Amino acid sequence: MFKEGLYMLSKRLLEELNLQIKYELYSAHYYLAMAAYCASEDLSGFENFFKVQAEEEKFHAMKFFDFVNEMDGKVKILGLEEPQNDFESVTDVFKKTLEHEKFVTSRIYKLMDIATEEREHATISLLKWFVDEQIEEENSMKTILTRLERMGENSHGLYMLDQELAQRVFTPPAGSGN
């Protein structure tokens, strides 16, 4: 396809990148709803974990935001739907989290397919970082879910895990560039 400038994103890719900004912001939204649920269950460590996760999602959104601008595209902020706010248990929360991260991974793969088809190398480079990031996201959620399922939410195990998750602090992911 003919391109006027070296850094011009196709209309399709620009739309998909803007949609991805929305999904990353929605992830932050969703994780805040989970933080609120955990707070209501007096699990302040879990609450902290999801607050930090929401920060990370906002960071992801801003990474796409800055990229679109650098590529001379126009960012469009789209509306967010209300996320699920009520959950059966923290195990249920982590099941939903893993499901959601799998959806995000499928989105990153879709973007990668389009960028590859269009041979848009700058976008491919950005997306490689996200492919690796998604492996980490899915793995960390899976690890916690497995622990919850193993201990069956017995109060001692839950207390220990809550203490552990209270330690999490937000640090911009390694090799993030921006």
| Cβ atoms within 10 Å, residue 105 | 17
Q: How many angstroms from the chain centroid is the CA of residue 53?
A: 8
Binding stretches for Mg ion (CB under 5 A): 24, 57, 60
Taking the least distance from each CB to Mg ion, the nearer of 22 and 147 is: 22
Taking the least distance from each CB to Mg ion, the nearer of 40 and 77 is: 77
**Contact status, residue 9 vs residue 73, Cβ threshold 8 Å:** yes
- Note the maximum CA span of the chain: 63
Tokens of 97: 């989290």
Measured from each CB, the residue nearest to Mg ion is: 60
The burial of 35, by beta-carbon neighbours within 10 Å (0-12 exposed, 13-18 middle, 19 or more buried), is given as buried
d(CA 119, CA 172) in angstroms, rounded, equals 29
d(CA 20, CA 50) in angstroms, rounded, equals 20
Taking the least distance from each CB to Mg ion, the nearer of 88 and 172 is: 172
d(CA 18, CA 50) in angstroms, rounded, equals 24
Taking the least distance from each CB to Mg ion, the nearer of 64 and 162 is: 64
